[in-house]
Amino acid sequence: MVRNIELAQLERIFSPVIFVLPNRTGVLVPIQRVYAEQLFGTSAQMTFIPGKEAVLFSERIYLSSRRNLHTLVEGSILLFYESGETGSRVRGCGGAVLRQSVIDKRQLPENILRRGVIENSELGEITVNEKIAVTRFDNVMCFPAQFLCHGYET
């Protein structure tokens, strides 16, 4: 018996897994170390300071300017890279884009903010517009630096 299954459903069944397939789009997004540590739990050192809840959820939120919506399409691979000056870590974490929407910054529900790492007070730093893009992604996994930098100078 042959059955068809959608790629997103297959990835959810085997989660966390991301299938990198021909013709599947991907987006590479930079992320600051402090946000990567809070969104993905990538800090090498434990802390007694309470972290963000986002790391506890399988579905997380990436907030950005509306102009990024055309690249953050449903089903694409979202790969965050953390890089910095000499001596800092180069690491990537990624997920699969579930869906996206545009919401008024002043009306962001608490359940969206909990799945991300940006505070209400920081929304103005993302975009000066009143609307903000909300991208939901899941199947979160982190990759070693060797995976991201194979054959490239860092």
| 66-86 per-position pLDDT tens digit | 888 888 889 898 888 876 554
Q: In terms of pLDDT, which residue wins out, 25 or 141?
A: 25
Q: Are 116 and 59 in contact (CB under 8 A)?
A: no
| 9-53 per-position pLDDT tens digit | 898 888 888 888 899 998 888 888 888 888 887 666 666 555 677
Query: What mean pLDDT is reported for the chain?
Result: 80
Domains of the chain with bracketed CATH: 25-43+61-143 (2.30.130.30)
